[in-house]
């Protein structure tokens, strides 16, 4: 029988690939799976890019919000109308386009008052604000109407707020008329530096982890007998226009007692930067022609008595604004409850002296408890009434808490300030009228748009971010 030859039968090739049909099927299946994935990746990338842009726009809005809260309306108007003189709402180098107040938009706002001089609503624009390689335009709307209740300033509409803050005479360093007014703003660090000076004089040890304050000094058996702030107003001749000028100097003296020994801060004024020495009679104004002087200081609550001496030998009448401020910066700051208790026990004595003492009129917030009203045990004293403070003319007994009389029968009038700012246009010496008030409490609305939106009048289609807030102090 013939043997079969196995080689004559075809053999399967175990290493063979897919057929063309199988390959096409695999490609189709892969396409069905991959195409949606690729589309998802593209969509996700677009969404991430848009989210990044939106986040950058929100960051711009937040930066603007913080910057706007640092200034009152008049200061903002000055910066937006004259940015070349200094723009501090945000880093000016980040803004490549225009910085403007939009007065046309203000006047066309349907909520604006009929009086164009007191609109209560303000618009400001920024063009080309740069952040992380992106650029945006921004529109800012500020509304101060809700914080005013003077019926002469609105159109009979109740704006729904019980805070008439913007109708009150107050004082702030930013309101001083530069070049004409005299002003001095105490450094918030000064009381701490004076305490450090006393600590070294007495030989007391300082804590390693915390600064030496006057409270520390009291806790270690010391006594702060007084602090005296002396402002000297002197004849400064005349300016180029023939106006009478005044020059001013100021001195601080801290008097303390420890173990029966009295220590003073050399009878001098403030520490020279970097030297730790004290400068006597520091100049704080030359060529003053307005008849206004603004003294902003931080109360020394640990002292038995805070003395403020106004020595007027200038021969000129002066409106003196004496304004106590809050320390919200240094380690000596107080909680609301602590501040309220300190304010209740705080004693300030204002002495007015000199050859022109009777020509001084005082505006002050000494009669006000600076803490939130919710923490004050009684209502804020009435405007102009200073029941818990002594205000004296040298060698003349106090006749009333709000009016002082000298030996010649002339009076030194004391008017109340309910806060910490003043009229935008300082009052002229010898008049009894307030010339104007700036809004320091207002609502803020910031909208950030794509670059180029300003040229198209800020259409909603190009809006990127919108936030609201309020400046409330």
Tell me the residue length of the chain.
473
Instruction: Record the tokens describing residue 381, joined without a space.
Output: 């004293």
336 versus 275: the higher-pLDDT residue is 336
Write the pLDDT tens digit of every residue in 404-453.
333 333 445 555 554 444 333 332 322 223 334 467 678 899 999 999 99
* Angle, vertex CA 249, rays to CA 247 and CA 251, nearest 5: 170
In this prediction, residue 345 has a pLDDT band, given cuts at 50, 70 and 90, of confident
- Whether the per-residue pLDDT at 266 is higher than 60: the answer is yes
CA 302 remoteness from chain centre: 26
In 3D space, the residue among 288, 300, 307, 319 whose CA is nearest the CA of residue 223 turns out to be 300
User: Is residue 194's pLDDT more than 80?
Assistant: yes
Q: Which residues pair with 136 in a beta bridge?
A: 129, 450
Express as a percent the part of the chain with pLDDT over 90. Answer: 26
Structure tokens at 51: 């989210």
CB atoms near residue 73 (< 10 Å): 20
Q: Which of 377, 378, 401 is nearest to 389 (CA)?
A: 401
Tokens of 216: 């520390």
The predicted-structure confidence for 206-252, as pLDDT tens digits, reads as follows 888 888 999 999 999 999 999 999 999 999 998 888 888 999 999 88
Q: Per-residue pLDDT for 302 more than 90? A: yes
pLDDT (mean) for 99-116 = 79
According to the model, what pLDDT value does residue 39 have? 73
Distances (CA, A) of 162 to 49, 149, 362, 380: 45, 8, 29, 16
Could you tell me the pLDDT band of residue 352, with boundaries at 50, 70 and 90? confident
What is the DSSP-derived secondary structure letter of residue 382?
Answer: P
Distance from C-alpha of 48 to C-alpha of 352, rounded to nearest angstrom = 67
Biggest CA–CA distance in the chain, Å, is 159
* Global pTM value: 0.54
With residues binned 3-state (H G I as helix, E B as strand, rest as coil), the percentages for the chain, rounded to 5, are 25, 30, 45
Distance from the Cα of residue 149 to its chain's centroid = 23
Rounded distance between C-alpha atoms, residue 78 and residue 22, angstroms: 77
């Amino acid at each position: 029988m013939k043997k079969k030859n196995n080689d004559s039968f075809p053999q399967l090739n175990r290493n063979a690939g897919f057929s063309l049909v199988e390959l096409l099927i695999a490609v189709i299946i892969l396409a069905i799976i991959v195409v949606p994935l690729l589309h998802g990746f593209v969509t996700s990338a677009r969404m991430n890019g848009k989210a990044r842009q939106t986040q950058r726009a929100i960051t711009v809005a937040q930066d603007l919000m913080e910057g706007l809260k640092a200034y009152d309306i008049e200061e903002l108007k000055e910066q937006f109308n004259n940015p070349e003189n200094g723009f501090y709402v945000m880093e000016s180098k980040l803004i490549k386009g225009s910085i403007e107040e939009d007065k046309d938009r203000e006047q066309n706002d349907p909520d604006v008052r009929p009086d164009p001089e007191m609109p209560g609503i303000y618009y400001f624009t920024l063009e080309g604000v740069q952040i992380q390689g992106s650029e945006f335009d921004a529109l800012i709307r500020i509304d101060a109407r809700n914080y005013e209740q003077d019926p002469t300033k609105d159109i009979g509409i109740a704006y729904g707020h019980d805070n008439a803050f913007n109708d009150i005479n107050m004082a702030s360093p930013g309101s001083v008329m530069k070049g004409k007014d005299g002003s001095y703003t105490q450094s918030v660090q000064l009381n701490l530096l004076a305490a450090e000076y006393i600590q070294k004089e007495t030989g007391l040890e300082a804590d390693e982890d915390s600064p030496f304050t006057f409270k520390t000094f009291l806790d270690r058996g010391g006594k702060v007998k007084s602090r005296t702030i002396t402002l000297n107003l002197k004849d400064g001749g005349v300016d180029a226009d023939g106006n009478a000028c005044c020059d001013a100097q100021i001195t601080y003296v801290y008097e303390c007692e420890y173990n029966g020994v009295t220590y003073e801060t050399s009878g001098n004024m403030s520490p020279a930067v970097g030297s730790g020495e004290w400068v006597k009679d520091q100049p704080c104004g030359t060529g003053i022609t307005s008849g206004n002087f603004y003294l902003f200081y931080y109360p020394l609550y640990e002292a038995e008595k805070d003395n403020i001496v106004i020595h007027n030998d200038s021969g000129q009448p002066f409106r003196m604004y004496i304004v106590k401020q809050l320390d919200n910066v240094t380690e000596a700051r107080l909680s609301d409850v602590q501040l309220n208790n300190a304010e209740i026990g705080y004693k300030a004595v204002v002495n007015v002296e000199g050859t022109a003492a009777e020509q001084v009129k005082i505006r002050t917030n000494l009669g006000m408890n600076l803490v939130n009203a919710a923490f004050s045990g009684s209502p804020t004293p009435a405007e102009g009434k200073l029941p818990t403070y002594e205000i004296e003319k040298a060698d003349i007994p106090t006749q009333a808490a709000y009016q002082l009389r000298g030996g010649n029968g002339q009076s030194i009038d004391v008017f109340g300030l309910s806060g910490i700012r003043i009229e935008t246009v300082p009052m002229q010496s010898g008049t009894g009228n307030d010339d104007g008030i700036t809004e320091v409490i207002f609502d803020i609305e910031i909208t950030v748009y794509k670059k180029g939106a300003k040229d198209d009048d800020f259409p909603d289609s190009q809006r990127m971010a919108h936030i609201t807030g309020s400046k409330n102090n």
